[in-house]
Amino acid sequence: MNKPTDLQHDLERSLPAIASISSSLSQSQGFSPYFLSPEKRKVISDVRRTFCLFVTFDLLFISLLWIIELNTKDGIQKNLKDEVVKYKFKSSFFDIFLLALFRFVVLLLGYAVVRLRHWWVIAVTTLVSSAFLIVKVILSELLTKGAFGYLLPIVSFVIAWLETWFLDFKVLTQEAEEERWYLAAQAAASRPLLYPQALSEGQFYSPPESFAGSDNESDEEGTGRKALTAQEKEYVRQGKEAMEVVDQILAQEENWKFEKNNASVVWYFDFGDVVYTFEIPFHGKTFILKAFLQCSPELVYQEVILQPEKMILWNRTVAACQILQRIEDNTIVSYDVAAGAAGGVVSPRDFVNVRRIERRRDRYVSSGISTTHSLKPPLSKYVRGENGPGGFIVLKCPSNPRVCTFIWILNTDLKVKPVPGSWHSSPGGSGVPGPCSWIPAATGVVPYQTLPWRGSGGG
């Protein structure tokens, strides 16, 4: 399979916290070692194995129908002699059986033995099957033989096209996503020498505890550290402003407008997430997702907020995530690439965000907003999206340290033309985020499920 060089380059530059990622991946239930070790990767994927079973079913089902047809009236031996030894194109079903055998041999040879990742093999088998069956029905006398004269050609035709659909829309698509996921994991785990500033194994970068409304923070936020440049102070200011907006949104929860409730069942427990909207002056409609998670707030804080670079490992809608600059303990500048959507109708977007992270007594907060950075000017291959104030909030539960409430504030402009009556019709809106199952996936609580939206989050 051809690997896009640009995407691979972005993946290789992602994830500076290599040691931390390698350690957490090896201990997480949500990540399979199949993706992290080439020698442990499955010889054949689950979806491809299902396709091969369906091809086998094709041969066995056609064979069964043919045997039933042979075992009527004059007996199986006489009919078998008439249709095989005295084969006639116009009256025999033997060629339909051979057509199923042809599909079985060619498809299993191409997709099970050689393990091709292209559609040309099944295109040949489907074209040959369709053309032969159409000619067979037109020129033969099968329709005079009763129900089987209709049944065998129709079943053979339908199964051939079902195989084509399954391979093209399920097997090849899913394997392409898994391959991109694997490349991302390899870029994260096998290139430690590229990042001399990686964190030591088992450690997480964690800002000092902050207190909402505190006024004693200096620009340097600590003694013994180098003075910030004018640009770095601007990044800190942008991060603080985004944090203030997030705090104001949280303080006005009674004014949130209810939009929808996504009830889901994942693995062994039920959980639901609720979507609200809220109008922010100068930024337009903001979407707010609120969900209850059955995992500790510290785990979500470490896996999601402290390590945004790991997003590519558990969110397949994100093609690359890179920390461009660490300003100080609480502020970073990151670069994210969101994969294209809708079969290429929505092209890939990239975002440059300034993020501010704060630890408080009752919550963890990561706020963000779009900014600019000299290392990542706009590129022609991506559409530069913009994030308004937003981010992630993890609320602690006073009575149970093993559960938490997760809030996602999203205000993203993907630079697409709004469609009247859709979620995109409001300024600053990018669509409603879907079920929050990717957070448990990131923390190893439940298996991976894909986010159905294509933004970068901004938090």
Q: What is the DSSP letter of 344?
A: G
Give residue 12's pLDDT: 43
SS3 405: strand
β strands within 360-423, DSSP E: 363-370, 383-384, 386-387, 390-396, 404-410, 412-413
Angstrom distance (rounded) from CA 367 to CA 407: 11
**pLDDT over 50 at 436, yes or no:** no
Nearest C-alpha neighbor of 338 from the set 457, 459, 454: 454
SS3 334: strand
Give residue 182's pLDDT: 67
Angstrom distance (rounded) from CA 110 to CA 207: 53
The rounded percent of the chain whose pLDDT value lies above 70 is 67
Give residue 442's pLDDT: 44
Give residue 458's pLDDT: 53
Range list of H helices, 287-405: 297-300, 311-314
- For residues 243-248, give the mean pLDDT: 93
CB 411 within 8 A of CB 390: yes
SS3 79: helix
pTM across the whole model = 0.52
Give residue 267's pLDDT: 33
User: Tens digits of per-residue pLDDT, 174-212?
Assistant: 888 777 766 665 555 544 433 333 333 333 445 555 544
- For residues 68-86, give the mean pLDDT: 83
Structure tokens of 400?
């149970």
Give residue 126's pLDDT: 95
Angstrom distance (rounded) from CA 426 to CA 420: 9
The rounded percent of the chain whose pLDDT value lies above 90 is 33
Give me Rg for the CA atoms of the chain. Answer: 28
Q: What is the largest CA-CA distance in the chain?
A: 99
User: Tens digits of per-residue pLDDT, 278-323?
Assistant: 988 878 889 998 988 888 899 888 888 888 877 777 676 788 888 9
Give ∠ CA 120-125-131 in degrees, rounded to 5.
120
383-384 and 349-359 strand pairing: parallel
Burial of 218 (0-12, 13-18, 19+ CB in 10 A): exposed
User: Tens digits of per-residue pLDDT, 336-373?
Assistant: 888 776 666 677 889 999 999 999 999 999 999 999 99
User: Tens digits of per-residue pLDDT, 285-294?
Assistant: 899 989 888 8
Q: Which residue has the higher pLDDT, 62 or 446?
A: 62
Give the alpha-carbon dihedral of 106, 107, 111, 114, to 10 degrees. -10
**pLDDT over 60 at 45, yes or no:** yes
- For residues 1-11, give the mean pLDDT: 46
SS3 19: helix
Burial of 151 (0-12, 13-18, 19+ CB in 10 A): middle
Angstrom distance (rounded) from CA 407 to CA 142: 65
| Mean pLDDT for the chain overall | 74
SS3 156: helix
When mean pLDDT is compared over 43-57, 308-322, 425-439, the highest value belongs to 43-57
Residue 398: φ, ψ to 5°: -60, -30
Nearest C-alpha neighbor of 239 from the set 355, 326, 411: 355
Residue 242: φ, ψ to 5°: -60, -40
Nearest C-alpha neighbor of 152 from the set 180, 119, 172, 129: 129
**pLDDT over 80 at 112, yes or no:** yes
Q: At what angle do helices 94-108 and 120-139 cross, to 10 degrees?
A: 180
- For residues 87-114, give the mean pLDDT: 92
Give residue 266's pLDDT: 38
363-370 and 318-328 strand pairing: unpaired
Give residue 78's pLDDT: 86
